[in-house]
Structure 1
Amino acid sequence: MNFRKPRPEEPEINLIPFIDVLLVVLIFLMLSTTYSRFTALDVTLPVAGTQPLPQRPQEIIVAVAHDGRYAINQRPVEGRSVEVLAAELRTAAQGLNQPMVIISADATAAHQSVVNVLDAARRSGLSRLTFATQAGAQH
């Protein structure tokens, strides 16, 4: 007979079932995950194929630079706010009967700069607007 007290065995953590469960969870996550790609829109911009219009006195040409600066009839506008731009458009439109506002924006100009011109024209009561385009190759 053995009268000694049995020594308790030190508990061991069996890692094999734990690894099996983790692998199953990993496979499940890999199969159920949806991968979303950011796709860029492939946009082809229109090109005008008409003859250039002759200079007409009833036009106000608003140039928008790539960095957001404005020029009205080749005169730089001090400031970039809609209010300043609207005041300058009102001044340029004085004495003209329903002038046409031609927006000539740089290709790399921010959209907000062009929207500011549209908003300033609306505030100035100028409703005839158009955009200048670059002449493209004829097909």
Structure 2
Amino acid sequence: MTPWNLLDLDKALRVSWAADTCSPDDQADWEPSNPAWGQCDITALIVNDVFGGDLMLGEVHLDGTQHGFHWWNRLPSGVELDLTLEQFQRGQTVTAARVIERPPGPLPRRWEEYLLLRARVIEHLGSLPEPV
């Protein structure tokens, strides 16, 4: 069994994020200086693959208007972990957090991007646990 280290997973994710793994809704605004932009959902799923816990979902607001959703993790210990929070550099806020159930099987949306990000992380860390 591979001993998983959060720091190593974080580093592997950060070097793996790219325009081709960004959410199509956010792709026009993706840039290398903010690589976490549009990566939250598939990043949270990979963290969930490795550490389990809950998936969290909140609404993103800017200037009083909702601009999509944001995903992060609640680890089994109860600690909330958000590896993509730094993407919000324009004053966005995340509200209305709630636990969501992980979609079973292949994701109905962003499956290819998830598999691509997962493959890149595997290149850095070796095999990962199978998706939950």
Q: Which has the higher contact order (CA 8 A, sep 6+)?
A: 2
Q: TM-score, normalised by structure 1?
A: 0.24
Q: TM-score, normalised by structure 2?
A: 0.25
Q: Greater share of helix residues, 1 or 2?
A: 2
Q: Greater share of strand residues, 1 or 2?
A: 2
Structure 1 or 2, whichever has the larger Rg, is 1
